[in-house]
Structure 1
């Protein structure tokens, strides 16, 4: 497919449709890849199987309008990710992912650009979406295309008080090798030489794996890992996580909204910030 040059009007006109299907085994693999095990048997065993809610981001990972733009992938960074679940995910299904660009902001020549795309998963034979996923990316080499500099949505603010709860989540030393079987085969997450050439000390964990681990932290502490209670989950990535590191997830509860951030204490580094999860009543 011919890629569209970075011109503001043409960027916002971009749309895309991608067919998607999944089996119960795909959801089981995903649950294992984000660190779940026998302590959460319903998500990793086919009897009375449940689907962990952030599995939706994997279904919408491939394709989309952003991939059809002439953006240099070497300089494209994953900035923010948000999921809204309109109803629980079935253990198997097929349908279409419909995507459109919802914003593009030009930081100026040599300063990069921000791109936001929205994807909706629609099951076969239905009209209303199952889930809506919004991704914000930073193209470090794409500034100067004529888009606006102002108007980008502000991130969710974290409360100024001390955290109401703290949960420690350990990542596995081989977790990126397992997670990459779900969708993202970028060698950055497996090949030490490739990772060093990209400026990292070694392979890094997928951002969307960290995203799911933060959802696990919220659900485990507040609703006993009842994934059916998750209505939305959003965050901003601020630094990479290396497999084997322990995340300190700090959380604030205000009604049905859980704000959060995540740190790697050993490196004194905030890796996730501006997190917001909304919880609902049991289905």
Structure 2
């Protein structure tokens, strides 16, 4: 990369960048769209899945929808940030659920940058950000989501070299459950309707400039697919039991591939694409409450 891109922002300028608060009127249609966009409803005989996608039933919201609720959009493309937006990669994601999500209503999302790590000129940078989602009417805290973004074109700006958290390591024993989650060729186009319209996931020319042979699936769509498998295996489709999720994105998924999710009883997990024998999600850890705790929430 050229030096002017590596020095496109300073530590102080990016840390102080204001990301506008977002208010979103959530409808049942939005909740169903999210569930469908991450693969719920692919088995029409599984009534547990239908509870997330059939608006004629008593709908439940998918907990992973917290990552798209009141989403600020692709704000990193704003030239004022100084970020080389074409070379941005989602590195890690965390979710902490404080209350079950509503399927309709109004929510407020407040996003801020919480940290920067400078890996050095030509080596990129890590940006940590946090979004807090609240019920707009009551102010009740619903979810906190935290992201690590790898800014591949922005190293060498004079920021701190750390700290960098150690990732969770899965057990060395074979997984206790393995779930095959198919994706669809057009799935990224559906997922974009949740508010993440980065052209990397739709435009072949943009994907080529970023070094990919074709548009890739959103990392957060992969998160939703993996979260679906975890909700099935560890939570018995009881969304009220979902507490925490943390994962590292290690390789992209191309729409149409299969995501094979390997799950351990302690909540550890990883995911791979068997067609290419590539690990796409690693260092995963999920926390689910016991059934009676979920019911009492």
Assess same fold via TM > 0.5. Answer: yes
Counterpart-to-counterpart distance in 1, 2:224 and 2:110: 22
- Given that residues 123 and 152 in structure 2 are in contact (C-alpha distance below 8 angstroms), is that contact kept between their aligned partners in structure 1? yes
1:161 CA drift (Å):
2.0
Aligned pair 1:175/2:187, yes or no? yes
1:105 CA drift (Å):
0.5
1:124 CA drift (Å):
1.5
- Given that residues 176 and 206 in structure 1 are in contact (C-alpha distance below 8 angstroms), is that contact kept between their aligned partners in structure 2? yes
Q: 1:57 aligns with which of 67, 83, 97?
A: 67
1:9 CA drift (Å):
3.2
Aligned pair 1:243/2:255, yes or no? yes
Aligned pair 1:142/2:142, yes or no? no
1:105 equivalent in structure 2: 117
Give TM-score scaled by structure 1 length.
0.90
Counterpart-to-counterpart distance in 2, 1:180 and 1:239: 19
Change over 3 Å in CA distance of 1:130–1:243 after alignment to 2? same
Mapping of residues 109-148 of structure 1, within 5 Å: 109-148=121-160
Q: 1:234 aligns with which of 234, 246, 254?
A: 246
Counterpart-to-counterpart distance in 1, 2:166 and 2:88: 20
1:29 equivalent in structure 2: 33
Counterpart-to-counterpart distance in 1, 2:286 and 2:140: 22
3-state SS of 1:130 partner: strand
Q: 1:273 aligns with which of 278, 282, 291?
A: 282
Computed over aligned residues only, the root mean square deviation of the Cα atoms, in angstroms, reads: 2.0
Aligned length, in residue pairs: 276
Change over 3 Å in CA distance of 1:97–1:33 after alignment to 2? same
1:148 CA drift (Å):
1.2
3-state SS of 1:62 partner: coil
- Given that residues 73 and 195 in structure 2 are in contact (C-alpha distance below 8 angstroms), is that contact kept between their aligned partners in structure 1? no
Deviations 1:104-145 (A, max 9, x none): 101112211100011101211333421101011011121122
1:92 CA drift (Å):
1.0
Counterpart-to-counterpart distance in 1, 2:101 and 2:145: 14
Counterpart-to-counterpart distance in 2, 1:205 and 1:144: 29
1:42 CA drift (Å):
0.8
Counterpart-to-counterpart distance in 2, 1:111 and 1:122: 36
Counterpart-to-counterpart distance in 2, 1:149 and 1:114: 9
Structure 1 range deviating more: 105-114 or 179-188: 179-188
Aligned pair 1:261/2:240, yes or no? no
Give TM-score scaled by structure 2 length.
0.86
Mapping of residues 52-91 of structure 1, within 5 Å: 52-63=62-73, 69-91=81-103
Counterpart-to-counterpart distance in 2, 1:127 and 1:187: 34
